[in-house]
């Protein structure tokens, strides 16, 4: 779990040690980079992430994530793939003792830059969680939540946004007649697609998906995958999955992580057929898991 | 981004401002709660802390010798500490302003030429009336009034000297006039005046002016006394006279009957008393010895029902002989002055010597407490005046008086006493917390005896044996019981149950004794029923089984109570109690409180222990059952041990509630602060005592602060008990969280 | 046999039954207490028949049958009768030995009078007088009709008197104010200074002017009053007690009268309803032992309202802070523990704090700053409804915080993260996700706080509750809500009437009724809280599929 309850004053010195200027500057860049000739949306530079001074969760991550493609993060549990994903919209800020070194650039802008507004970042970078988390409100209210908190109050405009988001999330047909029903009445798969639609309503550029189908049955999973397939035309999608088949099915690029390190990033086809790294091959072929 | 135009800047700004403000407001609220918890504790401490403060003085005036060469025999200061006066042995009275040190008025006592004052004594603690004795045998009584006058520019003190009376002691011949060597004088509240003095022949005289009958009496007490007199003192109510002799004997005269002076007691000291003085309250006498010892004595009822003076308190000794003792008009404080000029401040009740100081290197010739006892005025042999502010807010409370036995005036021995208010100003408040603490725990103990078994058995039954449907209905019922306002329970206890208990005491006793008996018999019969038939009864049969037994027992008890009372207790239990055991039966007694208070804590103990028992994981009891244990064995050996911490926590919570409960103990007991384990007596609990007394306690006074301290004790006690109980609860939850 | 016995032992039947016994006794006690209060509290309003007993020695008493018991010493059955007529007998109750009673009867024409003073009167009506003249029943009229009629007239007169008196006070008000200021000046000794003297003279002049202006009106009113009062005094009933003593009762001092022995079940029920209404809607009479408890209900409600206004925002803020803003760690854990434990701190300790801090420290300072002209008479420096409410707010704070936290904790973390991930600010997240979902928790906390506050007495006793408040804390005179006023409270009413009133025996029924009212309020609030809590649980059970 990411909940840490270490003492308040306890590890301060250690954290300070980690945050010395030297650690920031030099890190022999291990070029686990992506793809030439593609527009890069997300870029990390020597990113290190700590839950607290004793829990070094991400080590020297350097990755480029291309525009309008699906990038999948795979790796054994606890390898840091979810952590990395949550770095992209700074969800990790919620953890009280966590800190990082290095940089994350989105469209070339450092998201940790002073003056960055979290709300804008998160509007730009939408997120779908592992377990569907519809709010205990009506379906319509759920989808309209994002636009509303971002300042859109015009009913017609909201209706339009909700409809288009639900259509993109492939839920419109199922729910258009019961928009005012509680979102909690939907089935598990529908709830998750609602969450996707909810993220889309904000008109994000990037959508982060943290094992979006892990709690669903195969049919619902298939539906979600279809939706993703559809979405990548318009959005950059980063998906964390523990299901290698899923990664192989839906992603264009795959990044393999282990023990907080990024081992290899490449075209999905290449990773699954001819990985460069021995570790990747071992993981793909199921020698460990 | 495409949506840029839809999130206008001012909306963002608005949202952010809301966010910022909400953060501030909420954080303030959060700190508010922290502050409020801490402030309750700090405020209670802040209010009770001055109790622990000792006495302190600081000099506000030091004034060098006046022009006059004559020694000062008497001094005093007005209540506002603005004007003080001196009286020298030539009868000149000079008033000085404290701030400017200027002489503001001068007056003269009507002395003859060459007549010298040998001795002077003040006669009242609240009024500046005094008598001087001269070398020509005259007693001149005067009074001084220092009255505040309010004018535009503020308050000024108008000083006046009034001549009250003069009296010439009989002289044997004109060549050697009768000297008044040493004098003591009182004027009591009726206006009756008593003078007592030694003349140059060493004779002790007593002159009384009875204001009521306007008659005078004169006695020569030397006939009763043989020996040289060192010191003597009259009590302020003009009823007693103590006389100390060089042979270390002390005589106690009762002079309340002016027609007949009586020697009441005589005792021997270990030292020669050079100074004796009656303290406020006219019971205790402070005695200063030639060896520097200081002690307080007062009459104590002896087994023969006679009053004998006993040494009660002994204080820190001086290094030189004590020659003067001055008494405070507000409390049991007194000053002792030795021949080397050391001054000590003592407090009689506590036996504490609070202060020690030396105004100058010269002996002290006169000293005085200010009328409000908030200052001390000292004049030394070099006629140097010193006025000290006396900061002594709560001399009567020490750890010992709060928690230890104290020997109060008029009591036969050291005791724990709570008696905060009395009839007169001279009353000494007795603030031992022990009777209150005892009372609190007496009530709590009875309540716990009654409630713990019932609540825990009920909890076991509801969580383990009762049919689920029944359990679901019972829990809210008992929770409702918790919501009954305690004032209702207290009122029922006081007005319904206590008379009921008094009337049906025998029935209740019989019921309590017979119920287990009948229960066992019924159980025996039940067990004879074949297993197969037992199994046919529905779940929850226990309750249906128990109710008739209770009813039968009650009917039985009600029909035989008179018979039993006749046979065992001569027809009246209460009278029997009194005549054989000397136990009085009070209508509102601890038994009733135990019942009512128990009723109030049952729901708490029940709810918490029921939770604890239900929270024992199913897997544990299943394992036990799977091994062939019976349901009861499982409960006994697996469930209860696992829940024991929670049950303990429940009992602690109940205890905390019982200790702090106010209205029930207030209404259902007689609120008598006595230490007595007798269940048929009342008691006074800390909480009830606070509720009753704090509205009447003067703000900032000793009682007020002691009650705050009592509140602090309650706070700390319940806080500790609750913390303990929640820590245990937490540990338990963690322990079983893994199942 | 032997194995059966050991089997029984193994089953622990005895213990199981014992634990059942514990439950039965606990429940029996609850039932006992509820039944006592129900019976005694509701029975009080039923118009009891009037029993007349004649003793063998010729004495005769009349009143309501109250109690019967067996005297322990003499083993004689005794009967207690509420004979009322305190002004005649000097006591309300009498115990009579049954073997000395010659006869019992229920005379048809016996009347129960409820009076403004001296409690009930039981007797027979002989005649009615208006203006000192006997009123004869007209054609087809009975004495009864006449009496009801003259009573109505007397009540009208009384009302007119009250109106006139009120009018007079209103007219006098400005003068009284000036006189008060003058007294204050005198008290402060300002008369002796030049400016003070001038001030005083000015006031004196003003007072004289006002007096001149007012006096004709006052004289007129006084003249009217005199005639009315004379008429009032001259309207009375001639009544006779059971033993034949005659007595006059002023008609205006009779609240109501009735012939209980003639009344059927229906008219008794109507009477009962009327009495019940009087109980909740009227002012108390006779040092709270009769009449209604309206001011106490009003005081309780107002105090609880003020308390809620103070405690809810503060408690909710604190709970949000503890859960959403504070850095979770040892310190917050300790604070949370302390808040929980604060709930177990005896209420009297809060009372002591309230008295010392709110009343003396804060109130005293307010007086120094804003009401120094009224000193030494305290305004806020003495107990009052504001201080009592704040004290109770502090007392109930843990209840609100704990319940709100429970509500907040029930909001799934995933929902909160979801909201943040959609770009909402923390406050938007709290307002839209946390607060709506914690609402049932907050409401539960509020209800529990109200129920606790309504039933609490000890801290109120020392921070502002009085046995009889002359005025309500909320009225029509500016500034309408008088936070410095003392108030009455149902719980304290119980304590006061039951334990401090001079005539406890006569006051008892009133106490039972008040207790019943208080219990009903508190229990209903609690049931409501339990209902909401259960709903809250259900709601979140469905949300986590």
The stretch C162-191 carries a mean pLDDT of 79
pLDDT of residue C5: 53
Is C101 among the domain residues?
Answer: yes
Please tell me whether residues C306 and C199 are part of one structural domain. Answer: no
pLDDT category at B737 given cuts 50, 70, 90 is low
pLDDT of residue B715: 93
Residue B735 to chain C, least CA–CA distance (Å): 19
Cβ of C20 and B465 within 8 Å? yes
In chain B, which residues have their Cβ closer than 8 Å to the Cβ of A117?
Answer: 12, 16
Residue A240's SS3 state is strand
Please tell me whether residues C339 and C379 are part of one structural domain. Answer: yes
pLDDT of residue B3: 42
Residue A29: both structure tokens together:
């860049």
Length of chain B in residues, anyone? 739
Please tell me whether residues C411 and C468 are part of one structural domain. Answer: yes
Rounded to an integer, what is the distance from CA A269 to the centroid of its chain?
21
Number of neighbouring beta carbons within 10 Å of residue C544:
10
The answer to whether residues B367 and B84 touch, using CB atoms and an 8 Å cutoff, is no
pLDDT category at A9 given cuts 50, 70, 90 is very low
Q: What is the mean pLDDT of chain C?
A: 83
HSE value, Cβ hemisphere, 13 Å, CA-based, for A142:
32
Crossing angle of helices C490-499 and C294-320, in 10° steps, is: 130
pLDDT category at B152 given cuts 50, 70, 90 is low
The stretch B716-726 carries a mean pLDDT of 89
pLDDT of residue C151: 85
Is C197 among the domain residues?
Answer: yes
Residue B19 to chain A, least CA–CA distance (Å): 11
pLDDT category at C387 given cuts 50, 70, 90 is very high
The stretch C65-79 carries a mean pLDDT of 80
Q: Higher model confidence: residue A33 or residue B634?
A: B634
Lowest mean pLDDT among B168-172, B503-507, C363-367: B168-172
- A54 — contact with chain B (CB < 8 Å)? no
pLDDT above 70: residue B7 = no
Residue B493 to chain C, least CA–CA distance (Å): 10
pLDDT category at B477 given cuts 50, 70, 90 is confident
Q: What is the pLDDT of residues B40-86, one digit of tens each?
A: 999 999 998 888 888 888 888 888 766 567 888 888 888 888 888 88
Phi/psi-derived region of residue C207, left when phi > 0, alpha when psi is between -120 and 50, beta in every other case: alpha
Burial class of A67 by CB neighbour count within 10 A (0 to 12, 13 to 18, 19+): middle
**What single-letter DSSP state applies at residue A53?**
T
pLDDT of residue B62: 83
The answer to whether residues B564 and B556 touch, using CB atoms and an 8 Å cutoff, is no
pLDDT above 50: residue B4 = no
pLDDT above 50: residue A254 = yes
Lowest mean pLDDT among B231-245, B386-400, B525-539, C437-451: B525-539
Subunits next to A (3 or more Cβ pairs <8 Å) are B, C
When CB atoms are compared, the residue of B1, B15, B16 closest to A124 is B1
Residue % of chain C over a pLDDT of 90: 11
The stretch A43-63 carries a mean pLDDT of 86
Task: Show the domain range for C354.
Answer: 297-489
The stretch B231-250 carries a mean pLDDT of 90
Could you tell me where the DSSP H helices lie in chain A?
A: 12-18, 21-25, 81-88, 118-124, 139-149, 155-168, 172-175, 188-201, 218-231, 244-250, 268-273, 278-284
Of B622, B617, B643, give the one whose Cα is nearest residue B460.
B643
Euclidean distance between CA atoms B225 and B250, whole angstroms: 10
Cβ of B12 and A152 within 8 Å? no
pLDDT above 70: residue C283 = yes
Please tell me whether residues C351 and C453 are part of one structural domain. Answer: yes
Please tell me whether residues C184 and C224 are part of one structural domain. Answer: yes
When CB atoms are compared, the residue of C327, C418, C424 closest to A96 is C327
pLDDT above 90: residue C161 = no
pLDDT category at C10 given cuts 50, 70, 90 is low
pLDDT above 50: residue B422 = yes
Residue C332 to chain A, least CA–CA distance (Å): 11
Does an H or E element contain B74, and which? strand B72-77
Greatest Cα pair distance, chain C, in angstroms, is: 110
HSE value, Cβ hemisphere, 13 Å, CA-based, for C339:
26
pLDDT above 60: residue C185 = yes
Euclidean distance between CA atoms B446 and B443, whole angstroms: 5
The answer to whether residues C342 and C311 touch, using CB atoms and an 8 Å cutoff, is no
Of all residues in chain B, what percent are helix, strand and coil, respectively (each to 5)?
40, 25, 30
Does an H or E element contain B418, and which? strand B418-419
pLDDT category at C353 given cuts 50, 70, 90 is very high
Q: What is the CATH number of the domain that holds C371?
A: 1.10.3720.10
pLDDT of residue B346: 92
Of C391, C371, C390, give the one whose Cα is nearest residue C380.
C371
Q: What is the pLDDT of residues B389-400, one digit of tens each?
A: 988 888 888 888
If one counts the domains in chain C, the total is 3
Is C249 among the domain residues?
Answer: no
In chain C, which residues have their Cβ closer than 8 Å to the Cβ of B19?
Answer: 425-428
Strands (E), C17-140: 51-55, 60-70, 77-82, 93-97, 101-105, 111-115, 121-130, 133-134
pLDDT of residue B8: 67
The answer to whether the bond into C479 is cis (omega within 30° of 0) is yes
Q: Higher model confidence: residue C506 or residue C306?
A: C306
Last residue of a domain, one of C97, C132, C167: C132
In chain C, which residues have their Cβ closer than 8 Å to the Cβ of B631?
Answer: 11-12, 16
C-contacting residues in A 150-169 (Cβ below 8 Å): 150
Last residue of a domain, one of C440, C467, C489: C489
Q: What is the mean pLDDT of chain B?
A: 85
Please tell me whether residues C94 and C220 are part of one structural domain. Answer: no
pLDDT of residue A36: 59
The answer to whether the bond into A141 is cis (omega within 30° of 0) is no
Q: Higher model confidence: residue B450 or residue B302?
A: B450
Euclidean distance between CA atoms B292 and B285, whole angstroms: 16
Sequence-ordered list of residues with C-beta below 8 angstroms from that of A167, at least 6 positions apart, any chain: none
pLDDT category at B538 given cuts 50, 70, 90 is low
Is C260 among the domain residues?
Answer: no
- Give me the DSSP letters along B547-599: HHHHHHHHHHHHHHHHHHHHHHHTT-HHHHHHHHH-----SS-HHHHHHHHHH
Is C35 among the domain residues?
Answer: no
pLDDT category at B504 given cuts 50, 70, 90 is confident
Number of neighbouring beta carbons within 10 Å of residue A188:
14
The stretch C304-333 carries a mean pLDDT of 88
pLDDT above 50: residue A146 = yes
Q: Higher model confidence: residue B689 or residue B738?
A: B689
Please tell me whether residues C343 and C213 are part of one structural domain. Answer: no
pTM: 0.85
The answer to whether residues C512 and B508 touch, using CB atoms and an 8 Å cutoff, is no
Cβ of A94 and C420 within 8 Å? yes
Euclidean distance between CA atoms B369 and B175, whole angstroms: 39
pLDDT above 70: residue B428 = yes
B-contacting residues in A 89-148 (Cβ below 8 Å): 117, 119, 123-124, 147
pLDDT of residue C467: 82
Give the residue from C422, C425, C430 with the most A CB atoms within 10 Å of its CB, the best one to mutate: C422
CA dihedral C266, C268, C271, C272 (to 10 degrees): -100
Which position has the token pair 């009590």? Answer: B235
Is C476 among the domain residues?
Answer: yes
pLDDT of residue C375: 64
pLDDT of residue B540: 66
Residue A255 to chain C, least CA–CA distance (Å): 23
Residue B561: both structure tokens together:
């109570």
Of C48, C29, C15, give the one whose Cα is nearest residue C509.
C48
Please tell me whether residues C209 and C334 are part of one structural domain. Answer: no
pLDDT of residue B202: 83
Residue A259: both structure tokens together:
């023990």
Cβ of C317 and B29 within 8 Å? yes
Which residue(s) pair with B254 in the sheet?
A: B240, B262
pLDDT above 90: residue B451 = yes
Is C369 among the domain residues?
Answer: yes
Number of neighbouring beta carbons within 10 Å of residue B472:
11
Report phi then psi at B295, rounded to 5.
-145, 160
Rounded to an integer, what is the distance from CA C313 to the centroid of its chain?
28
Cβ of A151 and B1 within 8 Å? no
Domains (ranges, CATH) in chain B? 434-735 (1.10.3720.10)
Number of neighbouring beta carbons within 10 Å of residue B154:
8
pLDDT category at B344 given cuts 50, 70, 90 is very high
Please tell me whether residues C328 and C353 are part of one structural domain. Answer: yes
C-contacting residues in A 198-217 (Cβ below 8 Å): 198-199, 202
Lowest mean pLDDT among B24-38, B404-418, C61-75: C61-75
CA dihedral B675, B680, B684, B687 (to 10 degrees): 130
pLDDT of residue A213: 85
pLDDT category at A240 given cuts 50, 70, 90 is very high
Euclidean distance between CA atoms B53 and B56, whole angstroms: 9
- A203 — contact with chain B (CB < 8 Å)? yes
pLDDT category at B295 given cuts 50, 70, 90 is very high
Interface contacts A/C by beta carbons within 8 Å: 82
Number of neighbouring beta carbons within 10 Å of residue C4:
12
Residue C362's SS3 state is helix
Sequence-ordered list of residues with C-beta below 8 angstroms from that of B636, at least 6 positions apart, any chain: C12, C15
Residue B725's SS3 state is helix
pLDDT category at B326 given cuts 50, 70, 90 is very high
Euclidean distance between CA atoms B291 and B531, whole angstroms: 91
For residue B380, what are the CA distances in angstroms to B105, B251, B276, B339, C19? 22, 31, 20, 11, 81
Please tell me whether residues C353 and C453 are part of one structural domain. Answer: yes
pLDDT of residue C64: 86
pLDDT of residue B713: 93
Of A47, A73, A80, give the one whose Cα is nearest residue A62.
A47
When CB atoms are compared, the residue of C192, C325, C504 closest to B23 is C325
Please tell me whether residues C375 and C410 are part of one structural domain. Answer: yes
Of B270, B271, B272, B294, give the one whose Cα is nearest residue B284.
B294
pLDDT category at A11 given cuts 50, 70, 90 is very low
Strand order in the sheet with B385-391: B56-63, B385-391, B375-380, B364-369
Residue % of chain A over a pLDDT of 90: 10
pLDDT above 70: residue A14 = no
The stretch A58-80 carries a mean pLDDT of 88
For residue B652, what are the CA distances in angstroms to B239, B462, B614, B657? 56, 21, 19, 9
Please tell me whether residues C198 and C117 are part of one structural domain. Answer: no
Of C403, C411, C433, give the one whose Cα is nearest residue C532.
C403
Last residue of a domain, one of C87, C102, C132: C132
Does an H or E element contain B600, and which? helix B590-614
């Amino acid at each position: 779990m990411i909940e840490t309850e270490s003492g308040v004053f306890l590890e301060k010195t250690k954290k300070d040690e980690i945050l010395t200027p030297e650690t920031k500057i030099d890190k022999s860049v291990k070029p686990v980079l992506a793809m030439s000739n593609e527009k890069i949306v997300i870029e990390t530079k020597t990113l290190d992430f700590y839950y607290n001074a004793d829990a070094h969760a991400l080590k020297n991550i350097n990755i480029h994530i291309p525009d309008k493609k699906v990038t999948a993060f795979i790796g054994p549990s606890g390898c840091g793939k979810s952590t990395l994903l949550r770095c992209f919209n700074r969800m990790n800020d919620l953890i009280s003792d966590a800190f990082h070194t290095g940089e994350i650039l989105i469209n070339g802008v450092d998201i940790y830059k002073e003056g960055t507004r979290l709300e804008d970042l998160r509007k730009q970078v939408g997120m779908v969680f592992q377990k569907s988390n519809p709010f205990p409100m009506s379906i319509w209210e759920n989808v309209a939540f994002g636009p509303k908190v971002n300042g859109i109050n015009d009913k017609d405009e909201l209706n339009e946004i909700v409809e288009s988001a639900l259509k993109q999330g492939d839920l419109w047909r199922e729910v258009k007649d019961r928009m005012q029903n509680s979102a909690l009445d939907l089935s598990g798969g529908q709830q998750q697609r609602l969450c996707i639609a909810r993220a889309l309503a904000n008109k994000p550029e990037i959508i982060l998906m943290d094992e979006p189908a892990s709690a669903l049955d195969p049919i619902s999973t298939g539906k979600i995958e279809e939706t993703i397939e559809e979405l990548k035309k318009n959005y950059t999608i980063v998906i964390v999955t523990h299901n290698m088949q899923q990664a192989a099915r839906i992603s264009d690029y795959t990044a393999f992580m282990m023990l907080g390190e990024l081992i290899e990033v490449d075209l999905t086809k290449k990773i699954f057929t001819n990985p460069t790294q021995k570790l990747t091959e071992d993981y793909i072929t199921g020698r460990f898991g | 981004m495409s949506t840029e135009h839809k999130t206008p800047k001012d909306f963002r700004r608005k949202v952010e401002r809301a966010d910022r403000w909400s953060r501030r407001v909420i954080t303030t609220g959060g700190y508010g709660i922290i502050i409020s918890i801490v402030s309750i504790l700090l405020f209670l401490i802040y209010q009770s802390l001055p109790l622990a403060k000792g006495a302190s003085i600081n000099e506000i005036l030091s004034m060098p010798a006046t022009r006059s060469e004559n020694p000062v025999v008497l001094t005093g200061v007005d209540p506002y500490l603005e004007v003080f006066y001196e009286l020298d042995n030539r009868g000149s009275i000079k008033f000085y302003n404290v701030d400017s040190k200027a002489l503001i008025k001068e007056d003269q006592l009507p002395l003859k030429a060459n007549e010298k004052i040998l001795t002077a004594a003040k006669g009242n603690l609240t009024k500046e009336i005094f008598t001087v004795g001269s070398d020509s045998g005259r007693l001149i009584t005067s009074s001084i009034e220092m009255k505040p006058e309010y004018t535009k520019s503020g308050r000024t003190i108008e000083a006046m000297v009034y001549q009250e009376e003069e009296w010439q002691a009989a002289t044997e011949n004109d060549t050697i006039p009768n000297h008044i060597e040493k004098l003591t004088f009182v004027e009591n509240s009726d206006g009756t005046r008593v003078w007592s003095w030694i003349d140059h022949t060493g004779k002790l005289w007593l002159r009384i002016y009875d204001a009521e009958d306007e008659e005078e009496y004169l006695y020569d007490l030397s006939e009763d006394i043989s020996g040289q007199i060192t010191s003597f003192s009259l009590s302020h109510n003009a009823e007693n006279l103590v006389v100390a002799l060089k042979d270390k004997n002390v005589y106690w005269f009762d002079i309340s009957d002016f027609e007949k002076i009586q020697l009441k007691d005589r005792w021997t000291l270990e030292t020669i008393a050079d100074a004796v003085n009656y303290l406020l309250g006219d019971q205790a006498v402070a005695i200063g010895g030639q060896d520097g010892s200081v002690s307080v004595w007062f009459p104590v009822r002896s087994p023969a029902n006679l009053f004998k003076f006993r040494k009660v308190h002994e204080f820190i000794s001086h290094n030189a002989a004590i020659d003067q003792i001055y008494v405070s008009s507000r409390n049991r404080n007194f000053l002792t002055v030795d021949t080397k000029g050391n001054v000590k401040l003592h407090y009689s009740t506590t036996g504490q010597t609070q202060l020690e100081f030396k105004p100058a290197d010269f002996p002290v010739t006169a000293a005085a407490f200010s009328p409000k006892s908030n200052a001390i005025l000292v004049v030394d042999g070099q006629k140097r005046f010193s006025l000290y502010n006396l900061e002594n807010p709560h001399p009567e409370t020490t750890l010992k008086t709060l928690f230890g036995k104290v020997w109060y005036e008029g009591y036969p021995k050291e005791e724990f006493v709570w008696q905060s208010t009395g009839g007169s100003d001279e009353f000494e408040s007795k603030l031992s917390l022990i009777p209150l603490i005892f009372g609190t725990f007496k009530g709590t103990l009875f309540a716990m005896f009654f409630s713990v078994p019932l609540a825990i058995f009920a909890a076991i039954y509801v969580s383990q044996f009762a049919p689920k449907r029944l359990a679901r209905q019972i829990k809210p019922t008992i929770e409702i019981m918790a919501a009954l306002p305690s004032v209702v329970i207290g009122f029922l206890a006081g007005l319904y149950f206590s008379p009921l208990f008094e009337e049906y005491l025998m029935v209740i006793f019989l019921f309590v004794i017979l119920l287990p008996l009948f229960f066992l018999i019924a159980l025996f019969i039940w067990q004879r029923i074949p297993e197969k038939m037992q199994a046919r009864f529905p779940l929850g049969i226990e309750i249906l089984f128990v109710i008739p037994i209770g009813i039968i027992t009650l009917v039985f008890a009600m029909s035989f109570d008179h018979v039993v009372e006749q046979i065992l207790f001569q027809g009246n239990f209460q009278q029997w109690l009194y005549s054989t055991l000397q136990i009085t039966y009070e209508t509102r007694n601890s038994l009733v409180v135990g019942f009512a208070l128990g009723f109030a804590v049952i729901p708490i103990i029940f709810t918490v222990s029921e939770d604890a028992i239900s929270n024992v994981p199913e897997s544990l009891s299943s394992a036990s059952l799977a091994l062939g244990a019976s349901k009861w064995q499982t409960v006994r050996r697996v469930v209860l041990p696992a829940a024991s911490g929670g049950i303990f926590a429940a009992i602690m919570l109940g205890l905390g509630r019982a200790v702090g409960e106010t209205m029930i103990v207030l209404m259902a007991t007689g609120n008598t602060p006595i230490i007595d384990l007798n269940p048929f007596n009342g008691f006074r609990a800390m909480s009830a005592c606070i509720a009753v007394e704090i509205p009447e306690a003067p703000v900032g006074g000793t009682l007020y602060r002691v009650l705050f301290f009592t509140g602090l004790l309650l706070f700390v006690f319940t806080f500790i008990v609750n913390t303990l109980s929640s820590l245990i609860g937490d540990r338990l939850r963690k322990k079983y969280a893994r199942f | 046999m032997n194995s059966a016995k050991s089997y029984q032992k193994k089953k622990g039947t005895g213990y199981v039954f014992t634990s059942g016994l514990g439950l039965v006794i606990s429940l029996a006690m609850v039932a006992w207490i509820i039944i006592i209060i129900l019976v005694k509290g509701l029975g009080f309003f039923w118009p009891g028949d009037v029993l007349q007993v004649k003793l063998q020695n010729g004495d005769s008493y009349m009143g309501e049958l109250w109690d019967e018991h067996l005297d322990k010493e003499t083993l004689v059955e005794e009967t207690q009768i509420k004979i009322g007529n305190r002004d005649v007998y000097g006591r309300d109750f009498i115990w009579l030995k049954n073997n000395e009673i010659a006869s019992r009867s229920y005379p048809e024409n016996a009347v129960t009078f409820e009076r403004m003073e001296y409690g009930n009167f039981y007797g027979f009506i002989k005649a009615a007088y208006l203006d000192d003249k006997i009123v004869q029943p007209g054609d087809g009229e009975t004495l009864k009709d006449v009496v009801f009629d003259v009573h109505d007239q007397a009540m009208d007169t009384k009302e007119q008197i009250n109106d006139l008196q009120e009018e007079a006070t209103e007219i006098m008000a400005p003068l009284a104010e000036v006189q008060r200021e003058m007294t204050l000046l005198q008290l402060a000794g300002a008369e002796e200074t030049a400016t003070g003297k001038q001030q005083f003279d000015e006031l004196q002049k003003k007072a004289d002017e006002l007096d001149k202006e007012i006096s004709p009106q006052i004289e007129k009113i006084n003249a009217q009053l005199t005639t009315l009062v004379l008429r009032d005094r001259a309207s009375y009933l001639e009544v006779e007690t059971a033993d034949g003593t005659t007595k006059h009762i002023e008609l205006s001092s009779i609240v109501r009268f009735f012939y209980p022995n003639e009344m059927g079940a229906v008219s008794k029920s109507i009477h009962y309803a009327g009495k019940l209404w009087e109980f909740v809607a009227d002012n108390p009479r006779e040092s709270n032992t009769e009449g209604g408890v309206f001011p106490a209900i009003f005081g309780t409600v107002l105090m609880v309202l003020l308390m809620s206004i103070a405690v809810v925002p503060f408690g909710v803020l604190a709970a949000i802070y503890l859960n959403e803003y504070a850095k979770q760690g040892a310190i917050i854990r300790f604070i949370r523990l302390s808040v929980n434990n604060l709930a177990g701190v005896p209420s009297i300790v809060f009372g002591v704090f309230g008295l010392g801090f709110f009343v003396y420290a804060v109130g005293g300072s307010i007086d120094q700053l804003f009401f120094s002209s009224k000193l030494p008479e305290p305004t806020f420096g003495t107990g009052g409804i504001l201080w009592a409410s704040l004290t109770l707010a502090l007392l109930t704070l843990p209840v609100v915080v704990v319940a709100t936290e429970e509500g907040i904790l029930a909001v799934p973390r995933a929902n909160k993260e979801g909201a943040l991930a959609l770009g909402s600010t923390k406050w938007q997240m709290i307002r839209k996700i946390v607060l709506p979902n914690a609402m049932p928790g907050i409401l539960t906390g509020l209800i529990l706080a109200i129920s606790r506050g309504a039933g609490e007495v000890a801290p109120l006793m020392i921070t502002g509750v009085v046995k009889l408040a002359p005025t309500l804390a909320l009225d029509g005179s500016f500034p309408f809500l008088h936070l410095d006023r003392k108030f009455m409270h149902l719980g304290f009413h119980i304590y006061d009437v039951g334990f401090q009133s001079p005539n406890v025996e006569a006051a008892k029924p009133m106490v039972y009724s008040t207790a019943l009212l208080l219990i009903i309020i508190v229990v209903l609030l609690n049931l409501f809280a339990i209902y909401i809590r259960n709903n809250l649980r259900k709601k979140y059970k469905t949300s986590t599929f």
